[in-house]
Amino acid sequence: MLKKYFVNPFTVFFSAAVAFFWPLSFFLFSVKNDALTYYYPVRTLISDALHNGELPLWTPYINMGYPLHADMQSAAWNPVIWLWSLISNYSLGAFHYELIFYLCFAGIGFYHLCRNMGCSKNAAYTIGFAYMFSGFMVDSVQFFNCISAACYLPWIIVSFRKMMTEQERTSAAGMAFFLFLLFTGGYPSLFIITVYVLAAYFLFFFFSTSNKINFLKRTIPQLLLASILFLLLSLPAIISFTQHLPMINRGKSQPLSFILENSMNPANCLSLLMPFATTAQDHWLNSQIIMRNMYVGIIPLLFFMYAFTRINLRKNKELIFFAIMTLLLIGMAFGKFFFLREIAYQFLPLMDSFRHPALFRLFSIFFLLLISAAALKEWELKKVDDVSFLRKAIIALLLLGIASFFTLFVLNYSTNNLNFLNLKKVKNLFPLLDFKQRFLIETPLLILTLLLSWFAIVKKKNIRLILIFTMLDLFFATQLNLPVTVIGAKKFTEVEQLINRNPEKFPVPDNSSIEINSANSSGENFITGSSLPFTKKIGRNDYYISPGNLSTQDQFYESAARDSVFKKNLVYFSPGVSPDSSQQISIPGISANSMTVTIGPGKGRMLVYLQNKYPGWKAFVDGNEVAISPVHVTFMSIRVTPGPHKVYFKYQPIAVVIAWCISTTTLVILLLWFTIIFFQKRNKRNPERKT
């Protein structure tokens, strides 16, 4: 019985994720850059709202008030984030294990996709690990939503494939569910690309079938079911995003120069063999360091090449489609170095809305590995056949690796250039190594991996050895790249102390000036970005925490009025009155979506609340709703009559709340349906359980 659980895909892939990313899973170091400065604080705000019994709609702590639910990268509508937030009060440790979950679930998804294609368990594990620890995964950790999108992608594709071939309603519902998770929790551009990939895959199935009318009759109902379920599940996010996009600069069509930022330099295709060497800052690599890596392991790469030597694989229509998609998507990833991304920008809807062309390489890796899976399946079934190509490929790569190693060694044979071989100095010199030095370090691992590949593929023809050697190869490649693209320089405990995570409740502000709140509000060396979300103070600093800043907020921040307004308190009377009038204002309560203000006796005046005005805000004076007027470009003000009053500001976008109720009901019904079907299938496989 225990063996069954130990060999379960979840156990296997989870254990591998913990082991490969051990500096994070054992809390020795923390993630860095965008993961720590944007994605983590946003999750703490979601958690705070949920633990306070509220929907995560608004946050007062980002740039003078921000519609958290409308930020396409906040994941405020993603049930996985809600689950992590509710069970953990979202600590930094929970953030690390959310990453481990994504890696694990990505591997399991690709495993099931390979099994759906007919691969054996060992072959499916091999390719699942190759995807789980591919260069994209190791490179993109700081773009946290890219990892979550990559996690759901295999589940979407396997559900879609089964829907096209088997016309099961459960497959249609599964695709809608995972597409919903990607839409609400993944990087927006990866959702757009996924939709295009699904459209291309549908066209492949349509044109490859002989009876097209019958195909449409069978598949259209499934597509309609999937579309309806996706829309119902995503309804609050769709309403939130469509309302928000016209109010931000990033919601408009972007210039081509912006779209082509962070293209993948074709030179970085060398990462298929030498992922660590291509992390060097040499000018000829010329791209963002987190936009380079395509590594999938040497053995999966060998089988990708092997696929093109097999006649029956070359004639397989689906593999031809995969090969075309691999080439098209890597061409898109090249961005400014190739013409395809510019064509897509000019002619395809929504392709003018996002940058980072290098993100397309995720899909190129995806289809490359599907071809590798088919080739590994072919080899496993006919491994007694001729393996001359694999033998020749391994020998060629071995000779190339050995020749390159000795050439670079001779060219760099001097005391200064070989100082990096002194292990005592590796820690300090590691970030300074150039391409040639990193190449010299990595080449022995490449040679060793090729020798092990020879032993497993040519000599022993053993799929289990292939699995073991692939894991070793991916493990060492990951370890070399972790310090460069994943973990920060500070220890986990130092970062945790620097963040100083607050309790879940909302402390009542003392109505200090925004200038005081914003002073010293950036983390040390920007390690945590803005500290305002963690200290729970309302203000703004120069740190650009959100990619979806309200246009009006940016206009205010760049205006001449900023300095004078920042000297005001969070809530104040306008125009200015007597110096001690500020004492007439107190704030007895604040939460994610509301604030209560009491004001003392006095004449009629204008009360200013320094939170961004946004559709959905309402104000009440002594229980009676009053009109909200804009002031200082972006903030809220109301008129109060003479005398003492209790003022209540409430953010409650009714359409969004109703949509959330519809979405939640749909999700609960869908999960119950999945649960019933799961146990029905389980009982059919194990009829003795019924007795």
- Per-residue tokens: 394: 């391994």
Look at residue 314 and tell me if it is in a domain: yes
Torsion sign, CA atoms 613, 253, 43, 482: negative
Longest dimension (CA), the chain: 95
Query: For residues 111 and 124, is the Cβ–Cβ distance under 8 A?
Result: yes
**What is the structure's pLDDT at 427?**
43
Tell whether the model's pLDDT for residue 576 goes beyond 80: no
pLDDT tens digits for range 144-199: 999 999 999 999 999 999 999 988 889 999 999 999 999 999 999 999 999 999 99
Classified as helix, coil or strand, 629 is: strand
**What is the structure's pLDDT at 146?**
95
Query: For residues 296 and 372, is the Cβ–Cβ distance under 8 A?
Result: yes
Look at residue 253 and tell me if it is in a domain: yes
Q: Which of 490, 518, 546 lies at the terminal end of a domain, its last residue?
A: 490
Only one residue has tokens 């030179």, namely 267
Look at residue 44 and tell me if it is in a domain: no
Look at residue 209 and tell me if it is in a domain: yes
Query: For residues 141 and 35, is the Cβ–Cβ distance under 8 A?
Result: yes
Residue 1 pLDDT class (50, 70, 90 cuts): low
Look at residue 182 and tell me if it is in a domain: yes
Q: How many CB atoms lie within 10 A of CB 511?
A: 16
The 3-state secondary structure of 479-512, one letter per residue = HHHHHHHCEEEEEHHHHHHHHCCCCCCCCCCCCC
Phi, psi of 480 (to 5 degrees): -65, -35
Please state, in angstroms and rounded to a whole number, the distance separating the CA atoms of residues 622 and 643: 11
Query: For residues 425 and 418, is the Cβ–Cβ distance under 8 A?
Result: no
**What is the structure's pLDDT at 460?**
86
Please state, in angstroms and rounded to a whole number, the distance separating the CA atoms of residues 126 and 133: 11
- Per-residue tokens: 161: 């494939």
Chain length of the chain? 691
Tell whether the model's pLDDT for residue 5 goes beyond 90: no
With a pLDDT cut of 70, the percent of the chain lying above it is 92
CA distances from 596 to 38, 125, 473, 504, 619 (A): 28, 56, 59, 19, 10
Look at residue 510 and tell me if it is in a domain: no
Q: Which of 444, 467, 490 lies at the terminal end of a domain, its last residue?
A: 490
Please state, in angstroms and rounded to a whole number, the distance separating the CA atoms of residues 99 and 80: 12
Tell whether the model's pLDDT for residue 330 goes beyond 90: yes
Q: Average pLDDT of 663-687?
A: 85
Q: Which of 437, 466, 490 lies at the terminal end of a domain, its last residue?
A: 490
Number of structural domains (the chain) is 2
Look at residue 130 and tell me if it is in a domain: yes
**What is the structure's pLDDT at 584?**
81
Please state, in angstroms and rounded to a whole number, the distance separating the CA atoms of residues 232 and 222: 15
Q: Select from 625, 632, 626 the least CA-distant residue to 568.
A: 632
- Per-residue tokens: 637: 């003000």
Residues 6 or more apart whose Cβ sits within 8 Å of residue 243: 70, 615, 653
DSSP-derived secondary structure letter, 594: E
Look at residue 444 and tell me if it is in a domain: yes
Torsion sign, CA atoms 555, 558, 559, 561: positive
**What is the structure's pLDDT at 413?**
53
Q: Average pLDDT of 195-210?
A: 96
Tell whether the model's pLDDT for residue 664 goes beyond 60: yes
Range of the domain at 482: 2-32+91-490
Annotate 568-589 with DSSP letters as a single string: SBSEEEES---GGGGGGEEEEE
Q: Average pLDDT of 492-496?
A: 90
**What is the structure's pLDDT at 579?**
44
Tell whether the model's pLDDT for residue 624 goes beyond 70: yes
> Which range is least confidently modeled, 282-286, 410-414, 509-513?
410-414
